[in-house]
Amino acid sequence: MVVIVLTGYNRITETELMPYYMFFLGALILVTGLSELQKDRKGFWGYMNIVISLYLFSLFPYRVSY
């Protein structure tokens, strides 16, 4: 929901919000991966979601500083 609101705000005001999209997308993917692991589905996609979210979080400081 946050990503949809930020997208609408970006379209109206034409501001640069890409780092925040990446942050909230990473948070969403992290929650999805953790919920997969808590459901005792210790398969490939739960761990892959966590790795992808950590990658997005590692890019966040670089995108904010530009």
Q: What is the mean pLDDT of residues 3-30?
A: 82
Q: Provide the CA 22 distance to its chain's centre, in angstroms.
A: 5
pTM: 0.71
Percentage with pLDDT > 90 across the chain? 23
Higher pLDDT pick, 66 / 41: 41
Q: Annotate 7-26 with DSSP letters as a single string.
A: HHHHHHH----HHHHHHHHH
Neighbours of 36 (CB within 10 A): 19
- With contact defined as beta carbons under 8 Å apart, do 59 and 52 qualify? no
